[in-house]
């Protein structure tokens, strides 16, 4: 029983440690990702995605990158990478820190070979001098009738591939942490309004923070030449009624408070009004084109701003009032700045002026630091792999003090670097042997 | 805006266009008739085109006061610059004139695309949306251009390999083929060029992620452009693994270099013109 179990574990281990699986997974993931760009995705085209065949929707093809099987593929790739890395760790460690000098000719690296005769002491001296000068890491061995050496240049290059693969696992872990913890949401609010973070619309996760966000101002700023400078939001973080932080943010300049980051995502114009309900004055900010409504307390009247005149100096709005569940239009009209109007004999509104509406993306993603760590390691790994390729030169000398034979072997991932290094090295040795 | 500078930019664009076109024909004539003079002329024209290309970019920077990388036109002109930079380096470093036969047409076709498909309104310097106002833009696009330029060169090398391989099978020793380096050399060079470009493509994707995190609040959103850059990355990652572990060299590697560049082109053209997404500027 136990041998059977072991062989099964071995088999699974074997499958997961094979690079064939890794390559197959890369291929399948690439293919699946490509398919996802041709089938409408809920995240990009929600309306179109609904028209895709029901079977495809059930299989998750319209939300492909969040589909369980897509995550499974990524997970399998992660497991494959971890096992491959574990298996290779020891070998790479030994190659870097416990390099041994070759003892037999079969142990010599075989990509390039050379042979020469000469004086034992002289050759050994030139070899050491040349290789140390060229920053090789050199180990030597000696016995009665001869000696040997192995020298490695760029030995950190051995770690490149391992670091690259581990970085990929860290990236996957970062993405997983981001999916499981934290949240992502969005809200649109007019200048002057206060939004409790717990009440914003979420697309993922849950908000645990209890603070409120006050929008002090929202501006669409233009440059002197008529081009848009940026959208700016001046916001305050309120714990209860107390302001604990204040910051102006804009596109590309987010603001983070207690792990929650606010991003300027969009902007809309709106109007600032004051509603006077039996002497009680309530400030109201309404977005252009009916983006939101105001329901006066104790009424079933919904006030919206249907249109706004594009003239900041002389604000004019077109307002509409709808009533009841049927949203019946009961009143509409124009309102200039400073003008007031009675709404269905229930309350009075006054237009105070124009006001900005800011659209903020809000996110808490504890996985981001892992993503940056993974990215950094990925770059280091790739740099080591491709721009820091190791070269090994090894040799065995056999024979007496003079007239013995030195056999040299070399290998390296980069053929040109190998040819250059080995060529220069053997030339130098031949010259010294001839002298 | 300075009309003098704008005229200069237009002149430089046409000079570059003409020089690349003539250079392409000169490379072809050189290859077909073994005319050394044409070979020298081809290289000289490529250098003239490259100089005009550089000037067009510098003038655009002076006009818009920012890196010229924010719309399709600017990107394509800079993409050509990247291709020629990597190509000219390869020609001089490895004496690889025959590569010009395949790489110059790529640069020329990109410029021809601008001339035929882009109206004047797409070419002029435009106001950029707030999302593009970031210093990450420069890093992001420069790495993209160098990586894509190198992939174009690897594509040329792959084509050369496939052609030479075909002719050797047929035992034809055509004039053009004798000018190609040995199959092994072509294969090794393509590998080296991909090895140079792959870390740059990775850097391009990473700088894009950092920037997206600032601008959109998410480092990865499976936007089609992101997804296709990842697919391109995966294809080249496959190329490198298959080569190192299974000895996929020669023909299969050459096909992958061609295939990989097709993914590069799709990432740019296909995504912009066929697929929806956030990345609509270039």
Q: With an 8 Å Cβ cutoff, are B277 and A416 in contact?
A: no
Q: With an 8 Å Cβ cutoff, are B130 and A37 in contact?
A: no
CA pair distance B236, A413, nearest whole angstrom: 17
Q: Degrees (nearest 5) of the Cα angle A330, A332, A336?
A: 150
Pick the residue with more confidence: A193 or B135? A193
Q: What per-residue confidence (pLDDT) applies to B281? A: 44
Q: Which site among B124, B219, B269 would you substitute to test the A interface, given the most A Cβ atoms closer than 10 Å to its Cβ?
A: B219
- The minimum CA-CA distance between B116 and chain A, rounded to whole Å, is 27
CATH of the domain at B53: 1.20.120
Which of B219, B221, B241 is nearest residue A23 as measured by Cβ atoms? B241
Q: What per-residue confidence (pLDDT) applies to B25? A: 92
Q: Which site among B90, B206, B244 would you substitute to test the A interface, given the most A Cβ atoms closer than 10 Å to its Cβ?
A: B206
- The minimum CA-CA distance between A32 and chain B, rounded to whole Å, is 10
Same domain, B161 and B263: yes
Same domain, B139 and B261: yes
CA pair distance B239, A308, nearest whole angstrom: 58
- Give per-residue pLDDT as tens, A380-405: 999 998 889 899 999 999 887 777 88
Same domain, B172 and B275: yes
Location of structure tokens 């990702």: A33
- The minimum CA-CA distance between B254 and chain A, rounded to whole Å, is 18
Out of A365-369, B15-19, B73-77, pick the least confident: B73-77
Spatial contact of B272 and B282, defined as CB atoms under 8 Å apart: yes
* Residues of chain B found within 8 Å of residue A231, distances taken between Cβ atoms: 130
* Residues of chain B found within 8 Å of residue A261, distances taken between Cβ atoms: 217
- Give per-residue pLDDT as tens, A227-269: 777 888 999 999 988 989 899 988 878 898 988 999 888 888 8
- Among B66, B93, B128, where does a domain finish? B128
**What is the maximal distance between C-alpha atoms in chain B?**
60
CA pair distance A35, B244, nearest whole angstrom: 28
Q: With an 8 Å Cβ cutoff, are B134 and A30 in contact?
A: no
Query: B104 pLDDT exceeds 80?
Result: yes
Location of structure tokens 């995550």: A71
Q: With an 8 Å Cβ cutoff, are B222 and A36 in contact?
A: yes
Among residues A276, A281, A287, A307, which one has the least CA distance to residue A355? A287
Which of B130, B230, B241 is nearest residue A33 as measured by Cβ atoms? B230
The strand order across the sheet containing A112-118 reads A112-118, A404-412, A391-398, A146-153, A137-143
- Looking at residue A131, the DSSP 8-state letter turns out to be H
How many residue pairs from chains A and B have C-beta atoms closer than 8 A? 113
Percent pLDDT > 90 in chain A is 31
* Residues of chain A found within 8 Å of residue B196, distances taken between Cβ atoms: 386
HSE of B146, CA atoms in CB hemisphere, 13 A: 17
* Residues of chain B found within 8 Å of residue A22, distances taken between Cβ atoms: 241
* Residues of chain A found within 8 Å of residue B244, distances taken between Cβ atoms: 413
Spatial contact of B50 and B29, defined as CB atoms under 8 Å apart: no
Same domain, B96 and B142: no
Q: With an 8 Å Cβ cutoff, are A368 and B219 in contact?
A: yes
- The minimum CA-CA distance between B24 and chain A, rounded to whole Å, is 30
pLDDT band at A31 (very low <50, low <70, confident <90, very high): very high
- Among B110, B128, B146, where does a domain finish? B128
Burial profile A92-122: b = 16 or more Cβ within 10 angstroms, e = fewer: beebbeebebbeeeeebbeebebebebbbee
- Give per-residue pLDDT as tens, B250-276: 888 899 999 999 999 888 777 766 665
Pick the residue with more confidence: A412 or A374? A374
CA pair distance A409, A90, nearest whole angstrom: 24
CA pair distance B5, B11, nearest whole angstrom: 10
Q: Which site among A62, A177, A182, A251 would you substitute to test the B interface, given the most B Cβ atoms closer than 10 Å to its Cβ?
A: A251
Number of H helices, E strands in chain A: 9, 20
Compute the 3-state secondary structure of chain B and give helix, strand, coil in percent, each to the nearest 5: 80, 0, 20
Which of A65, A227, A379 is nearest residue B206 as measured by Cβ atoms? A379
- Give per-residue pLDDT as tens, A195-224: 898 888 888 888 888 899 999 988 888 888
pLDDT band at B120 (very low <50, low <70, confident <90, very high): low
Same domain, B153 and B84: no
Same domain, B101 and B144: no
Query: B214 pLDDT exceeds 90?
Result: no
Which of A45, A371, A378 is nearest residue B276 as measured by Cβ atoms? A45
Q: With an 8 Å Cβ cutoff, are B223 and A44 in contact?
A: yes
- The minimum CA-CA distance between B20 and chain A, rounded to whole Å, is 31
Query: B279 pLDDT exceeds 60?
Result: no
Query: A102 pLDDT exceeds 60?
Result: yes
Q: What per-residue confidence (pLDDT) applies to A420? A: 87
Which of B199, B227, B238 is nearest residue A383 as measured by Cβ atoms? B199
Q: With an 8 Å Cβ cutoff, are A228 and B129 in contact?
A: yes
Q: What per-residue confidence (pLDDT) applies to B172? A: 67
Q: What per-residue confidence (pLDDT) applies to B274? A: 62
Q: Which residue in chain B has the smallest CA separation from A415?
A: B188
Instruction: Please classify residue B249 by burial: count the beta carbons closer than 10 Å to its beta carbon, then call 0-12 exposed, 13-18 middle and 19+ buried.
Output: middle
Domain interval for residue B247: 129-282
Same domain, B162 and B218: yes
Spatial contact of A179 and A157, defined as CB atoms under 8 Å apart: no
Most confident of A22-36, A189-203, B3-17: A22-36
pTM: 0.80
- Spatial CB neighbours of A424, under 8 Å, sequence gap ≥ 6: none
Q: What per-residue confidence (pLDDT) applies to B65? A: 75
* Residues of chain B found within 8 Å of residue A229, distances taken between Cβ atoms: 130
Same domain, B159 and B33: no
- Spatial CB neighbours of A434, under 8 Å, sequence gap ≥ 6: none
CA pair distance B45, A372, nearest whole angstrom: 44
Which of B131, B196, B275 is nearest residue A252 as measured by Cβ atoms? B131
Location of structure tokens 């792999």: A385
Same domain, B68 and B179: no
pLDDT band at A10 (very low <50, low <70, confident <90, very high): confident
Same domain, B212 and B253: yes
Q: With an 8 Å Cβ cutoff, are B227 and A33 in contact?
A: yes
Q: With an 8 Å Cβ cutoff, are B209 and A45 in contact?
A: no
Q: With an 8 Å Cβ cutoff, are B199 and A228 in contact?
A: no
Please state the rounded mean pLDDT for residues A342-369.
89
ipTM for this model: 0.80
pLDDT band at B280 (very low <50, low <70, confident <90, very high): very low
Is residue B118 helix, strand or coil?
coil
- The minimum CA-CA distance between A25 and chain B, rounded to whole Å, is 10
CA pair distance B229, B227, nearest whole angstrom: 5
* Residues of chain B found within 8 Å of residue A363, distances taken between Cβ atoms: 217-218
* Residues of chain B found within 8 Å of residue A382, distances taken between Cβ atoms: 198-199, 202
| Residue A255: strand pairing partners | A262
Summary mean pLDDT of chain A: 87
Q: With an 8 Å Cβ cutoff, are B221 and A43 in contact?
A: yes
Pick the residue with more confidence: B177 or B282? B177
Q: With an 8 Å Cβ cutoff, are A30 and B235 in contact?
A: yes
Q: Which residue in chain A has the smallest CA separation from B218?
A: A363
CA pair distance B173, A101, nearest whole angstrom: 48
* Residues of chain A found within 8 Å of residue B238, distances taken between Cβ atoms: 23, 26-27, 30
CA pair distance B164, B182, nearest whole angstrom: 9
Number of H helices, E strands in chain B: 11, 0
SS3 per residue for A256-314: EECCEEEEEEEEEEEEEEEEEECCEEEEEEEEHHHCCCEECCCCCEEEEEEEECCCCCC
Query: A4 pLDDT exceeds 80?
Result: no
Out of A335-349, B151-165, B268-282, pick the least confident: B268-282
Number of domains in chain B: 2
pLDDT band at B232 (very low <50, low <70, confident <90, very high): very high
CA pair distance B128, B262, nearest whole angstrom: 29
- Give per-residue pLDDT as tens, A144-199: 888 999 999 999 999 999 999 999 999 999 988 988 888 888 888 888 888 898 88
Same domain, B167 and B209: yes
Which of B188, B215, B227 is nearest residue A36 as measured by Cβ atoms? B227
- Give per-residue pLDDT as tens, B50-99: 999 999 989 888 887 777 766 778 888 888 999 999 899 988 887 788 88
Q: What per-residue confidence (pLDDT) applies to A1? A: 45
**What is the maximal distance between C-alpha atoms in chain A?**
118
Q: Where are the alpha helices (DSSP H) in A98-150?
A: 120-133
* Residues of chain B found within 8 Å of residue A30, distances taken between Cβ atoms: 230-231, 234-235, 238
Q: With an 8 Å Cβ cutoff, are A386 and B196 in contact?
A: yes
Q: Would you state the torsion angle of the CA atoms of residues A325, A328, A332, A337, taken in this order, to the nearest 10 degrees?
A: 10
* Residues of chain A found within 8 Å of residue B231, distances taken between Cβ atoms: 30, 33-34
Q: With an 8 Å Cβ cutoff, are B214 and A43 in contact?
A: no
Q: What per-residue confidence (pLDDT) applies to A378? A: 95
- Spatial CB neighbours of A243, under 8 Å, sequence gap ≥ 6: A214, A236, A237
- Among B128, B148, B183, where does a domain finish? B128
Same domain, B102 and B136: no
């Amino acid at each position: 029983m136990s041998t059977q179990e072991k062989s099964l574990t071995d088999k699974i281990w074997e499958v997961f440690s094979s690079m064939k699986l890794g390559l197959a997974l890369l291929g399948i993931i690439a293919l699946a990702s490509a398919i996802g760009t041709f089938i409408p995705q809920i995240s990009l085209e929600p309306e179109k995605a609904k028209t895709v065949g029901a079977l495809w929707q059930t299989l998750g093809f319209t939300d492909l990158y969040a589909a369980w099987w897509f995550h499974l593929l990524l997970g399998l790739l992660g497991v494959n990478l971890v096992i491959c890395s574990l298996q290779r760790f020891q070998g790479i460690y030994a190659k870097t820190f416990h390099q041994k000098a070759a003892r037999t000719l079969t142990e010599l690296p075989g990509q390039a070979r050379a042979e020469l005769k000469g004086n034992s002491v002289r050759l050994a001296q030139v070899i050491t001098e040349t290789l140390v000068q060229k920053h090789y890491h050199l180990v030597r061995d000696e016995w009665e009738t001869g000696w040997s050496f192995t020298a490695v240049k760029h030995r950190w290059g051995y770690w490149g591939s391992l670091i690259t693969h581990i970085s990929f696992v860290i990236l996957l872990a970062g993405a997983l942490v981001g999916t499981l913890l934290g949240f992502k949401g969005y809200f649109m609010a007019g200048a002057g309004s206060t939004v409790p973070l717990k009440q914003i619309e979420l697309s993922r996760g849950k908000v645990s923070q209890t603070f409120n966000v006050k929008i002090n101002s929202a501006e669409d700023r233009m440059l002197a030449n008529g081009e848009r400078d940026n959208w700016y939001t001046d916001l305050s973080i309120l714990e209860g009624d107390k302001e604990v932080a204040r910051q102006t943010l804009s596109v590309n300049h987010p603001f983070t408070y207690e792990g929650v980051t606010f991003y300027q995502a969009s902007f809309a114009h709106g109007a600032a009004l004051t509603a006077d309900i039996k002497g009680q004055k309530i400030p109201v900010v309404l977005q252009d084109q009916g983006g939101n409504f105001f329901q006066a307390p104790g009424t079933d009247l919904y006030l919206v701003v249907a249109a706004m005149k594009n003239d900041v100096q002389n604000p004019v709005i077109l307002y509409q009032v709808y009533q009841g569940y049927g949203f019946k239009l009961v009143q509409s009209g124009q309102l200039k700045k400073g003008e007031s109007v009675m709404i269905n004999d229930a309350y009075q509104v006054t237009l105070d002026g124009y006001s900005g509406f800011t659209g903020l993306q809000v996110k808490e993603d504890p996985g981001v630091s892992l993503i940056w760590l993974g990215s950094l390691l990925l770059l280091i790994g790739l740099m080591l792999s491709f721009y820091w390729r190791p070269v090994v030169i090894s040799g065995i000398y056999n024979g007496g003090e003079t007239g013995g034979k030195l056999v040299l072997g070399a290998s390296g991932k980069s053929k040109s670097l190998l040819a250059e290094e080995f060529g220069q090295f053997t030339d130098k040795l031949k010259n010294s042997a001839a002298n | 805006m300075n009309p003098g500078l704008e005229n200069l930019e237009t002149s430089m664009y046409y000079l570059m266009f003409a020089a690349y076109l003539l250079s392409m024909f000169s490379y072809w004539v050189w290859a077909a008739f073994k005319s050394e003079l044409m070979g020298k002329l081809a290289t000289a024209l490529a250098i003239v085109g490259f100089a005009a290309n550089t000037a067009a970019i510098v003038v655009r920077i002076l006009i818009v006061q920012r890196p010229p990388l924010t719309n399709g036109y600017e990107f394509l002109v800079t993409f050509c610059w990247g291709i020629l930079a990597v190509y000219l380096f390869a020609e001089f470093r490895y004496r690889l004139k025959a590569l010009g036969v395949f790489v110059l047409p790529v640069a020329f076709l990109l410029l021809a695309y601008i001339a035929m498909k882009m109206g004047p309104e797409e070419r002029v310097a435009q106001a950029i949306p707030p999302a593009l106002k970031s210093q990450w833009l420069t890093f992001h696009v420069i790495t993209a251009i160098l990586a894509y330029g190198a992939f174009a060169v690897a594509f040329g090398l792959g084509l050369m390999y496939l052609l030479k391989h075909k002719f050797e099978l047929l035992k034809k020793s055509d004039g053009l083929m004798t000018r190609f380096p040995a199959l092994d050399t072509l294969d090794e060079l393509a590998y080296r060029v991909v090895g140079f470009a792959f870390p740059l493509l990775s850097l391009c994707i990473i700088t894009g992620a950092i920037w997206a995190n600032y601008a959109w609040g998410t480092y990865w959103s499976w936007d089609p452009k992101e997804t296709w850059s990842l697919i391109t990355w995966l294809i080249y990652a496959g190329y490198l693994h298959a080569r190192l572990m299974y000895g996929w060299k020669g023909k299969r590697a050459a096909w992958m270099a061609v295939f990989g560049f097709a993914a590069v082109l799709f990432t740019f053209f296909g995504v912009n013109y066929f697929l929806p997404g956030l990345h609509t500027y270039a």
